[in-house]
Amino acid sequence: MSFDAGSITGGMTFDISQYTRGMMQATSIAQVFPATVTAFIANPLLGVASLAKSVAHGVVEAMHWIGEAVAATADKYEAIGEAAYAAGVKISLLREVMPMAKLKDMGLEDVGMTFMFLNRSISEAMDGMQPKIDAFHRLGVAFTESDGAARDAGAVFYDLADALGKMGNAPLRTALAMDLMGRSGNRNILMFQDGARGIREYAARMKELGAGLDAGKMSEYGEKFKIVEQGWAALWTGIKESMAGPILEAIG
């Protein structure tokens, strides 16, 4: 019996090119990708969950940072507004004096008390209290305008800064400062080394660096920022509940 071996051989041939190409691709992937990426490919659900967790953590941190920044700003503006009102001076004056005061380790309370006592000293001098009148006269600082009205406490303060900053008699300087500005008067002397010009120039430099709100808008914005601070807490609670709602529903 005879047969065509060539035909048999031809009939048993099959194409393995697709299988070979697939194996080569699989091998290349295994070699190129590190184990962590390979695990991610093998189980994308875990990878997505981990990614979502990282993103959520970043969002939460950002939200907390924004909330803290708003709260800190609100507290600062509200404190300045309250101190100015209590001391009977303009907010712009406190904001101008505070940079130098902070440089000399004085706080808002110290500066506020300074202007409270200074306004009282001006009032007492206006009422004829001789020790106060004498203190102003010894420093060459006027406490009344040309028409007899009381001078603005800010103008008097800057005149005192010039006069006390130039005085060489340290004991007398301290005594006069405390007579007119209360217990914080001796600490104010630290700000007066370069007189009124030094305080104003330093405040101008700090304003340029900080680029903060205009002093004229401080009073208006201070209360609004405080409202924002209180509203932020309610808003943050709503955000958390909104985020948690779909997740809890999915788990249920």
Which pLDDT value is given to residue 9?
A: 46
Helix, strand, coil percentages, rounded to 5, for the chain = 80, 0, 15
Q: Which of 146, 125, 139, 132 is nearest to 169 (CA)?
A: 139
43: region left, alpha or beta (phi > 0 left; psi from -120 to 50 alpha): beta
Which pLDDT value is given to residue 8?
A: 43
User: How many helices and strands (H and E) does the chain possess?
Assistant: 12, 0
Using CA atoms of 123, 125, 127, 130 in order, give the dihedral in degrees to the nearest 10.
Answer: 150
Q: Using CA atoms, how far apart are residues 6 and 87, in angstroms rounded to an integer?
A: 113
Q: Check if the beta carbon of residue 91 is closer than 8 Å to that of residue 215.
A: yes
How far is residue 121 from each of residues 31, 139, 153, 176, 221, measured CA to CA in Å?
85, 14, 10, 11, 31
Which pLDDT value is given to residue 206?
A: 85
Q: Using CA atoms, how far apart are residues 71 and 64, in angstroms rounded to an integer?
A: 10
In tens digits, what is the pLDDT along the chain, a chain of 252 residues? 554 545 444 444 545 565 566 656 556 655 655 565 555 555 555 555 666 666 666 666 766 666 666 566 666 766 777 788 888 888 889 889 999 999 998 988 899 999 999 999 999 999 999 999 999 999 999 999 999 999 999 999 999 999 999 998 999 999 999 999 998 888 899 999 999 999 999 998 888 876 455 554 655 565 566 666 667 667 677 777 776 766 777 776
User: Using the 8-state DSSP alphabet, how is residue 12 labeled?
Assistant: T
**How large is the angle between the packed helices 91-103 and 195-210, nearest 10 degrees?**
100
* The two three-digit tokens of residue 41, written as one number: 């490919």
Which pLDDT value is given to residue 10?
A: 47
Expressed in angstroms, the distance from the first to the final Cα of the chain is 76
Provide the 10 A C-beta neighbour count for residue 58.
10
